[in-house]
Amino acid sequence: MGTGTVLHVNVIGLMAALEENLDSTLRGRPFVVANRAAPRAVVLDLSREAHREGVLRGMLLSRAVAMLSGLIVREPRTDICARANGELDRICRSYSPQVEMAGNGHVFADLAGTSGLNGPPEDVSQRIRKDIFSATGLRPVLALAGSKTVSKVATRVLRPAGFIALSPWEENQLMRHQPVEFLPGVGAALSRRLDLLGIGEIGDLAGLSDAEARALGPRGPELTARARGMDAVPVDPEPPERRTERGAFIFEPDVVDAELLNPRVDMLASELAYSIRRKGMGARNIRVEVWYADGLRNAATARSPRVLVRDDEVIHGVRDALRRARTRRVRVRRISIEFSGLGSAGPELDLFEPEETRLARLQPALDRVRTRYGFSAVSPAIILAAGRTGTNGGAVDRSSVPISSLVLCQGVPGEAGDDLHGLAVG
């Protein structure tokens, strides 16, 4: 029985591993990587010794220093980290064209169809591991399996270094007894809820019937399939920054009044933002194109130096591009929105001002409600307020309505309040 062809390369703690390569005196000592100059500096990466002492990634640096006397702090070296990721990508692409960069120190490579040129996938994986060490000094953990899900779980089990090639039977044996939080897509909140249902291992989730999986919510069947090792998502060689997310809306009849046009454009922007967040991404570039009733069209682009993730910041970017794209007082027939320059939507806690923390937690909470009860279950008042008039008879200033002003629309059941607990909702 042969092994799979999907290889996951995982350099555990890439930033910390690079620091140890640059300074051998750090080996065996507790240290962290953090931006000390940031308003809310957090631990970006850490050594195994620091982890054993209770320090965690994402912890406030001040707390980590207080709990561990003499903790060494090193500044992040983004240029060196980028070069290391580039080497991982280059080495894997020398053996297969199907290579996907999946975050810092994470690479997927599909070795299907390469045996005639390079040999069996097991041998190729070992050569990749050797090449990475020769080029960077890094010792990754590699797993070869039939899907991205299984290979990723396997590298979490095998850490901090090594190689494993799994047959279908071995995949099932390895997966079934691993903690459910090892499964991609299961975060801390969902893990706690599954634990309340007596689902502590991946095998418990895999054993659910179709009806029981649907009872977990819209993502239940997908998660259950993943727990069984059934993952049809292919290795995507297209870099995230080259991917796009598009959507359009046709007005029937054509409109010229902004109070009729803007709410639908804002809702489309919110739908697209939700779609890319479900893929773990945000967007840097926004393009809005306007088709007029007389056949002419115009477009404008808004760019951000950082990844835009939340509904409110995406809507403001779309609104800015729309304002510059609408250069004529002619009826509008169609509006299209395109997001590009996609990047990871992972938390950048060290970049957030304290007052931003609540908004950073609010957006995922809203998305969990939408995932469970449908997209329209929650609507930002920034959209609903459009077209209403204020007490002075003028239009409401929509730019002043924050994301935290919300309306719960379709009678969301009370248990959804768990997702919004502690978050101000107006």
- Does 246 lie in the same domain as 217? no
142 inside domain: no
- Does 220 lie in the same domain as 306? no
- Does 253 lie in the same domain as 328? yes
Per-residue pLDDT at 2: 67
Per-residue pLDDT at 241: 65
- Does 264 lie in the same domain as 189? no
361 inside domain: yes
Sign of the Cα pseudo-torsion (98, 103, 127, 172, in order) = negative
348, amino acid identity: E
pTM for this entry? 0.61
> How many domains does the structure of the chain reveal?
3
- Does 381 lie in the same domain as 336? yes
Tokens representing 141?
Answer: 């953990």
Final residue before a domain boundary, out of 227, 255, 285: 227
What 3-state class would DSSP assign to 4?
Answer: coil
Residue 16 · residue 27 · CB < 8 Å: no
CATH (domain of 341): 3.30.1490.100
106 inside domain: no
152 inside domain: no
Per-residue pLDDT at 121: 93
Per-residue pLDDT of the chain (426 residues; tens, 9 = 90+): 567 899 999 998 899 999 999 999 999 999 999 998 887 888 999 999 999 999 988 889 999 999 988 899 999 998 899 899 999 999 999 999 999 888 788 999 999 989 999 999 999 999 999 999 999 999 999 999 988 889 999 998 887 778 999 988 888 888 888 888 888 777 666 777 788 888 889 999 889 888 888 887 767 888 888 888 887 778 877 776 677 889 999 998 999 888 888 888 998 998 888 888 766 678 899 999 999 999 899 999 999 888 888 888 899 999 999 999 998 889 999 999 999 988 766 543 332 334 444 555 677 777 777 777 777 777 666 555 444 444 333 333 444 444 444 444 444 444 444 444 333 333
Task: Kindly tell me the burial class for residue 179, based on how many C-beta atoms sit within 10 Å of its own C-beta (0-12, 13-18, 19 or more).
Answer: middle
Contacts of 117 (CB under 8 A, 6+ apart): none
What is the spatial distance between Cα 379 and Cα 268, in angstroms, rounded to a whole number?
12
Domain holding 44, by residue range, is 14-78
252 inside domain: yes
- Does 307 lie in the same domain as 202? no
Residue 265 · residue 337 · CB < 8 Å: yes
In this structure, how many other beta carbons lie within 10 angstroms of the beta carbon of residue 355? Answer: 7
